[in-house]
Each structure stands twice: as structure tokens, then as C-alpha cells.
Amino acid sequence: DYVFDGAKDGAYVEADATAPLGVYGASKLAGEQAVAAANPRHIILRTAWVYSPFGKNFVKTMLRLAADRDEIAVVADQWGNPTSALDIADAILQAAARLRDDRNFAAFGVYHLAGEGDTNWSGFARHILDTSRALGGPYAKVRDIATADYPTKARRPQNSRLSSAKFAGAFGWQAPGWQSAVEAVVARLTEASR
């Protein structure tokens, strides 16, 4: 998602012009360009707002903060598609099977792969914490703030929404709704903490 400047109103499609806001996005775009130059038979997957039961990510951060706080301030003016790494892995396996089985596959290039539906960071946080509370896990109230109230080293796009329609058409894989994917990961984390 960092390869775009975030100025578009709707979801980005693969054909939209790239315009990274900073060094991080520029390095991602340079990586895409290097892969494309090295092999015309490539598949590049762009994704956004990735989380999982493992490593450091937004879901785990919200649960950790909720264990210690009554209220968490979360940015409400940046939009994207929460995307489970578990779903990304499933999609990659399906794409690999298609490439293995279809020797005539020719639709190489860039694809977007993101959770179905969109939200802002505070909506994402609310769903994480509401799910956690329903499962007996930590909960905190979410307070909406503006990006300007939460300065970061790297500038983030206001809009990181990605359309996965091209990937779905090429590989027959449809992302689950972001809410159900979040619920599955929060349930797994809650169970593991008991």
C-alpha cells in the first residue's frame, strides 16, 4: 500500500499510478521494478495492514495495550483493508497450485491481495477489542484521533484501500471479510493466552 500516495477516493487497482510518499514506499516500488526487470513471468503481491497471531502487528498491539489501559487513542482518518497473514498464505498456495496446473497461464504481473472490505484504524481497533471482550479477553475503549495527533517517522497514505478483484479473477480466490478474519486471529490469540 505504501507504493501509493493515498490521494485516491476509492480502492486502488493495479493499474493506478504509483507515487510513494517516502523512502519505505519507494524501496518497495524499486523492489517490484527489479523483480519485473529480472523475470517477465513474475507475480508480485501488494498487500496492506497485515496482521497474524505471530510477530509484532496491530492486532497484538491493541490487545497488549488493552490489558494495561482503559482507553486507547487510535487514528481515524486513514483507511485500508485489514489483511490476515493466514489468508495471504492461503491465497499464495491457491495461486501456486494454479501456476503448477496451468502451463498456459500468462497473466503475470502485479496483483493486490487484501482483506475484503475496508475500515479505518480506529474501526479496526474497535473490532479487535469488541471481539476480545466477547471472548473474555482484554478490552479498552477506543478514542478517535487524527493522523496529525499521532506523528510517526514515516508518512502514511490516508487511503491504503486495495481492490483484490484482479487476483480473485485470475486465481479464483476470494478474501474473507476482514471482520471474520480478525475474529479468527483474536480467538486464536485469546485461546493461546489461557
Non-local CB neighbours of 176 within 8 Å, separated by 6+ positions: 84, 87, 115, 116
Write the pLDDT tens digit of every residue in 17-43: 999 999 999 999 999 999 999 999 999
Handedness of CA 158, 5, 3, 16 (dihedral sign): positive
Query: What pLDDT score was predicted for residue 155?
Result: 84
Domains of the chain: 23-192 (3.40.50.720)
Helix (H, G, I), strand (E, B) or coil at 164: coil
- Residues identified as active-site: 24
Query: What pLDDT score was predicted for residue 189?
Result: 97
Query: What pLDDT score was predicted for residue 153?
Result: 80
What does the pLDDT profile of the chain (194 residues) look like in tens digits? 899 999 999 999 999 999 999 999 999 999 999 999 999 999 999 999 999 999 999 999 999 999 999 999 999 999 999 999 999 999 999 999 999 999 899 999 999 999 999 999 999 999 999 999 999 999 999 999 999 998 888 788 999 999 999 999 999 999 999 999 999 999 999 998 87
